[in-house]
Amino acid sequence: MCGVIGIYSKSEVNKKLFFGLNSLQHRGQESCGITVSNGENLHREKGMGLVIDVFKEENLNNLVGNIGIGHVRYSTAGGSHDYNTQPLMAFAKGIEMSLAHNGNLINHQILRTRLEEDGVMFQTAIDSEVILFLIARYYKGDIVEAIKKTMKLIKGAYAIVLCLKDKLIAFRDPLGIRPLVMGKNDEDVVFASENAAVEIVGATEIRDVKPGEIIVVDKEGINSSMYTTEGSPRHCFFEYVYFAREDATLDGTNAYNFRRRCGEYLSQESPCDVDLVVPVPDSGIPSAIGYAQKAGIPYAQGLVKNRYMGRTFIKPTQAEREMAVKLKLNPLRHVLKGKRIVLIDDSIVRGTTSANLIQRIREAGATEVHMRITSPPVKFPCYYGIDTPSRKHLIAANMDIEAIREKIGADSLAFISMEGMIKSSSDKHDKFCKACFDGDYPVDPIVI
């Protein structure tokens, strides 16, 4: 998972990109970067760390121009290294281009090997560079045609913004696995992973970029082309479960309402005789509200969140994740002592976070700790941009629910049903990628 933003404006875009990236910080905390065009040349600033730490007044002032793109990263391919920081840059046929990518290609290693055999030397270890190189290779004056030829080769999930000296291009994989929204106002056209980044710069979201769509913005206006209209959308369900901000509305589904309804369905599917409903902040809060309201059980803040800590799931290593949980969440002893609670969380991936929390909640004096999860068990690895590369890291792939309950130390454990989760979306039709739950991959993870 990463976050991307692109802006074509009548005015300077450096501060707008900075603000937009800050609103996407939850999608990646390892590195960030911005590329801006002044109409003649591209200039890039990037670094390891948070947006607020990497970008200061002095390097923002170096980014002069009215077209630009930005990226926040957490690594799924290539590792957490400075040389993998995006946006990437390339030079082809006398022009500069810069690319920012959210997603993951399942055939990038095959393509990379073939290109290396042809003598290509790569500067990074990430799949995004394969995309940029292919676009540069196929570019012969028509950027849309170059992108279409590239899309014919690459397989997997991608939401991409591409900056040329006089153009901003946005395109999305044919299944729309990763989100990309479009917004505008009188002076800006904005593309971003979530609508918060559109709204923070004063634009209004007008629609999602369609699966398989290529949009070019230049002095001629906004022009849309379709690579393909075949296939049904398969939007990532985990976006709504965990990754997206609560105010995100992606492909017609609002994350807050989805999570709240999941809590309501879960309270009906797996009721619990307890004194308090307690959320795991932040993504568990709307679901806990829905659970409490539907069940008629008091809602309570039983965990205090350190607002200066990032998201623990997307920390690069397991050791960092475990320490981050301790630093991030602290039990409220005066709320929990002597109470039977049901703890609401969005998912159990590795199980270490849940076990840590339950142990500390018991130490704070809770007499019973029941756990309810507002997504089905995560049993299969994701090949499209979520950091679950192997089944050996997924607790639900190796244990049944009772064994998981015992492992994490809960008095009871239940997950929402797939039917309940689908009903919780605003679109009751099955237009989602659920591969991490059911193993039904929309793009074959083995591509020859």
Residue 319 has pLDDT above 70, yes or no: no
**342-362 mean pLDDT:** 94
pLDDT of residue 75: 66
pTM: 0.92
* Pairwise CA distance, residues 193 & 160, whole Å: 9
Residue 294 has pLDDT above 90, yes or no: yes
Residue 77 has pLDDT above 60, yes or no: no
Residue 235 has pLDDT above 50, yes or no: yes
pLDDT of residue 310: 56
List residues forming the annotated binding site: 236, 283, 345-346, 382, 433, 436
Residue 315 has pLDDT above 90, yes or no: no
Give residue-wise pLDDT tens across range 89-115. Answer: 998 888 999 999 999 999 999 999 999
**204-228 mean pLDDT:** 96
Give the confidence band of 325 by pLDDT, cuts at 50, 70, 90: low
**284-306 mean pLDDT:** 96
Among 294-308, 382-396, 411-425, the range scoring the smallest mean pLDDT is 382-396
pLDDT of residue 17: 98
Active site residue: 2, 32, 163, 272, which one? 2
**112-123 mean pLDDT:** 90
* Topology of the domain comprising 3-231: Glutamine Phosphoribosylpyrophosphate, subunit 1, domain 1 (3.60.20)
**189-200 mean pLDDT:** 98
pLDDT of residue 93: 84
Give the confidence band of 447 by pLDDT, cuts at 50, 70, 90: very low
pLDDT of residue 187: 96
Answer yes or no: same fold for 3-231 and 254-438. Answer: no
* 262 counts as catalytic: no
**127-138 mean pLDDT:** 95
pLDDT of residue 238: 93
**321-348 mean pLDDT:** 88
Residue 43 has pLDDT above 60, yes or no: yes
List residues forming the annotated binding site for [4Fe-4S] cluster: 236, 382, 433, 436
Domain positions in the chain: 3-231, 254-438
**179-193 mean pLDDT:** 98
Which of 70-79, 259-268, 314-323: highest mean pLDDT? 259-268
List residues forming the annotated binding site for Mg(2+): 283, 345-346
Higher pLDDT, 216 or 76: 216
pLDDT of residue 145: 97
CATH class of 254-438: alpha beta
Give residue-wise pLDDT tens across range 139-176. Answer: 999 999 999 999 999 999 999 999 999 999 999 999 99
Residue 312 has pLDDT above 70, yes or no: no
Among 88-102, 205-219, 434-448, the range scoring the smallest mean pLDDT is 434-448
Give residue-wise pLDDT tens across range 354-410. Answer: 999 999 999 999 999 999 999 999 999 998 988 765 788 899 999 999 999 999 999
**256-276 mean pLDDT:** 97
Average pLDDT, the chain: 92
